[in-house]
């Protein structure tokens, strides 16, 4: 069965977009896509290396390019990068076949998960600036999302998955 929809998962770095999208694809017939991985394939190097060698602007252009390709497809569960949908108003590229699910996690949860990672923005921004970015972005995720999964500290991955699957089913009706 081919689903009519694509679901795009958005949220701040570390909110668990890729983990959730992968699990959803295992439980459904949606095909998993991760925009960060697609960009790494395109440049044939890692995201930190893309930022270092080509600059953030080229990375951002690639995000838009990938998104334009994905919206032409169907049956996808897409884990987006933290800014993929919100920079350059990219969410406007999505059509009626696309739904956005926002994972609304706290800054503390996200920060704990990313602080020791090699994400390029962590090199550039200190915790206070990151928090500021988080607050700014949360406002936009909230505006653009069709559905939201609120993650408080007690929400297990299993519960998050269950909520996501319910959301998806409801949208397919």
- CA distances, 64 to each of 84, 112, 173 (Å): 7, 28, 30
Cα–Cα distance measured from residue 136 to residue 130, given in angstroms and rounded to the nearest whole number? 10
Residue 96 CB, nearest approach to ligand S3P (Å): 25
Residue 116 CB, nearest approach to ligand S3P (Å): 13
Of 28 and 105, nearer to ligand S3P (C-beta) is 105
Residue 52 CB, nearest approach to ligand S3P (Å): 12
Residue 14 CB, nearest approach to ligand S3P (Å): 6
Of 3 and 77, nearer to ligand S3P (C-beta) is 77
Of 52 and 172, nearer to ligand S3P (C-beta) is 52
Cα–Cα distance measured from residue 49 to residue 45, given in angstroms and rounded to the nearest whole number? 6
Of 30 and 141, nearer to ligand S3P (C-beta) is 141
Residue 31 CB, nearest approach to ligand S3P (Å): 18
Are the C-beta atoms of 17 and 80 separated by less than 8 Å? Answer: yes
What token pair was written down for 1? Answer: 């069965």
Q: Which of 110, 50, 40 is nearest to 82 (CA)?
A: 110
- CA distances, 22 to each of 3, 19, 25, 117, 138 (Å): 17, 5, 5, 20, 23
Outline where the chain has alpha helix (H): 17-27, 35-43, 47-54, 56-70, 107-114, 120-124, 127-144, 157-172
Residue ranges binding ligand S3P (CB under 6 A): 13, 17, 36, 47, 81-83, 119-121
Of 13 and 145, nearer to ligand S3P (C-beta) is 13
């Amino acid at each position: 069965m081919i689903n009519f929809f694509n679901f795009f998962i958005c949220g701040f770095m570390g909110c668990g977009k890729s983990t959730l999208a992968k699990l959803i694809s295992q439980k459904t017939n949606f095909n998993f896509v991760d925009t960060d991985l697609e960009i790494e394939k395109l440049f044939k190097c890692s995201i930190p290396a893309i930022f270092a060698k080509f600059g953030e602007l080229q990375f951002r252009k690639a995000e838009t390019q990938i998104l334009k390709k994905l919206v032409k497809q169907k049956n996808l569960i897409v884990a987006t990068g933290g800014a993929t949908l919100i920079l350059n108003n990219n969410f406007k590229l999505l059509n009626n076949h696309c739904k956005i699910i926002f994972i609304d996690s706290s800054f503390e949860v996200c920060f704990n998960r990313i602080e020791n990672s090699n994400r390029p923005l962590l090199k550039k921004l200190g915790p206070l600036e990151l928090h500021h970015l988080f607050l700014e972005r949360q406002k936009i995720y909230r505006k653009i999302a069709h559905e939201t999964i609120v993650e408080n500290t007690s929400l297990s991955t299993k519960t998050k998955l269950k909520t996501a699957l319910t959301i998806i089913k409801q949208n397919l009706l």
